[in-house]
Amino acid sequence: MKRENEFEQSNETRRAFLNKMLIGGALAGGYLSLGGNEFTASAQEVKKADEKTADEKPKAAALTPQEALKKLLDGNKRYASGQLVHPNQTSERRIAVAAKQSPFAIVLSCSDSRVVPEIAFDEGIGDLFVIRTAGNVSDDIVLGSIEYAVAELGVSLVMVMGHQSCGAVTAVVKGGELPGHITRIAEAIKPAVDKVKGQPGDAVDNAVRSNVRMEVEELKKSEPILQEKIKAGKLIIVGGRYDLSSGLVEVIA
């Protein structure tokens, strides 16, 4: 395709491109607008944060995949029980990670407004690398985003998180014609729905779980970056189901 050829012909090195994607303009003046009020981080504050993290390896690299999963699930238990601690949500944290991010987990979740990973796992700024799509489906752009976080940021855990009563999955289970580009989402989910059709239990919930497991298996087969990290014991990919009522995440894959 034309866009792909143009990208391949770019004179930028891979590293330069990733660096631009990471910081391109984000620190320009340290400017933030909040409801009409301006806040400007001083150059000294940004410089101090930059110097503090310049020679550090990402903290995520210090967590094993199992430790990262435990940290994620511990945060979810706090959220579900109402014992939130709201970590890393201060202005100091914002300044500290301005120069470099080091998330400890990647979460691919549904775009549903009731499913917010940072809240559901009681985490803060810079803790989670979140990708959200309707029906938590993946494509090449999603895969590339995950590979970036794994290869460049040292993240050791990927969680694909579906949820109770997912609208995208429900639409596919019900069948019928869908408008516009929604059909592309349905096409991605349909194989998972077909796999559990006719099984006992709730048809939608069966399909939600099937869809999560399908995405997990597809990611595990992805070459070369994800497979190499998995084989080296530096990455695990799991699937979860978020319960809208209880707030709990159940590991299902």
**Beta-carbon contacts of residue 236 (< 8 Å; ≥ 6 apart):** 65, 66, 69, 156, 157, 158, 230
- Cα–Cα distance between 79 and 36 in angstroms, integer? 31
What pTM was estimated for this model as a whole? 0.80
- Considering only CA atoms, which of 124, 127, 126, 98 is closest in space to residue 26? 98
> 99: which DSSP letter?
S
E strand or H helix at 43, and its extent? helix 43-53
Predicted confidence at residue 39, as pLDDT, reads 39
Render each residue's pLDDT in the chain as its tens digit; 253 residues: 444 444 444 444 444 444 444 444 333 333 333 334 443 445 565 445 445 444 444 455 589 999 999 999 999 999 999 999 999 999 999 999 999 999 999 999 999 999 999 999 999 999 999 999 999 999 999 999 999 999 999 999 999 999 999 999 999 999 999 999 999 999 999 999 999 999 999 999 999 999 999 999 999 999 999 999 999 999 999 999 999 999 999 999 9
Question: Could you confirm whether domain 58-251 is CATH 3.40.1050.10?
Answer: yes
For the chain, the domains span 58-251
- Cα–Cα distance between 23 and 64 in angstroms, integer? 26
> 41: which DSSP letter?
-
